[in-house]
Amino acid sequence: MSVDGWNTLLVLGGIRSGKSEFAESVVADAPTVRYVATAPEGDPEDTEWATRLAAHRARRPGSWTTEETAADPGRLAEVIAAAGPNETLVVDDLGGWVTVLLDPAHQPADDTATIAELAAAVRASTARLVLVSPEVGLSLVPTTPLGRAFTDALGATNRAVAEACDAVALVVAGQTAWLKPAAPAPAVPAHAVPAQAGPAQAAPAHAGPGQAGAPQPVASTGVRPGTGAPDEALPEVFTPAVPPAPAPAAADAAGPADWAAPTMALPMVATGLVIQPGMELPMPDDYTGPQAVDRLATLDIPGAGLGVLERVVGFAAATQGTATPTPWSSVRVLLLHGDHEGGASAGAVPGESARRARQARAGKGPLARLAAENGASLQVVETPSSAPIEEGPALSGEEVESALRYGWRLAEQAADAGVQLLVLAACGAGTETAAAAVLAATAGAEPPAVLGRVVTEHGEFDDAAWMVRCAAVRDALHRTRRSAREAKDVLAELGGGDVAVATGVLLGATARRVPVLLDGPVGVAAGMVSRDLAGQARHWCLLPDHGGRPGVRLAADVLGLTPLLDLRLDLGEGATALAALPLLRSALALAAGLPVHPSLGGGYDEDFAEPEPAGPGPTSTEPEPQFAEPEPAGPGPTSTEPEPDFAEPEPTGPGPTTIEPDEPVAPGRRAD
Residues annotated as catalytic are 573
Task: Name beta bridge partners: 218.
Answer: 269
- Number of C-alpha atoms within 13 angstroms, CB side, residue 26? 35
Q: What is the C-alpha to C-alpha distance for residues 509 and 537, in angstroms, rounded to an integer?
A: 8
Q: Where are the alpha helices (DSSP H) in 333-490?
A: 352-361, 365-373, 397-416, 431-443, 447-450, 463-479, 487-490
CA atoms within 13 A on the CB side of 624: 19
Distance (Å, rounded) from C-alpha 395 to C-alpha 68? 44
Q: What is the DSSP letter of 493?
A: I
Q: What is the DSSP letter of 142?
A: P
CA 413 to chain centre: 12
The length of the chain is 672
DSSP, residue by residue, 424-437: EEE--TTHHHHHHH
SS (H, E, C) 194-261: CCCCCCCCCCCCCCCCCCCCCCCCEECCEECCCCCCEECCCCCCECECCCCCCCCHHHHHCCCCCECC
CA dist list (Å): 101 to 132, 159, 611: 16, 16, 85
Q: Give the Cα separation of 133 and 490 in Å (integer).
A: 41
Q: What is the DSSP letter of 386?
A: B
Q: What is the largest CA-CA distance in the chain?
A: 113
- Residues of the chain by 3-state class (helix, strand, coil), percent to 5: 40, 10, 50
Give CA 278 to chain center in angstroms: 15
Residues 6+ apart with CB under 8 A from 343: 388, 390, 433, 468, 469, 471, 472, 475
Helix, strand or coil, per DSSP, at residue 672: coil
Rounded Cα–Cα distance for residues 526 and 435 (Å): 8
Nearest to 420 by CA among 521, 298, 554, 542: 542
Please provide residue 104's backbone torsions phi and psi, each rounded to the nearest 5 degrees: -55, -25
Q: Comparing C-alpha atoms, which of 393, 650, 374, 344 is closest to residue 522? A: 344
| Residue 269 to residues 279, 373, 416, 505, 621, Cα–Cα distance (Å) | 19, 31, 9, 15, 64
CA distances from 181 to 178, 204, 282 (A): 7, 13, 21
Euclidean distance between the first and the last CA atom of the chain, given in angstroms as a whole number: 53
Q: Distance between CA atoms of 134 and 114, rounded to whole angstroms?
A: 19
Strands 222-223 and 331-337, bridge-based pairing: unpaired
Do the beta carbons of residue 507 and residue 535 sit within 8 Å? no
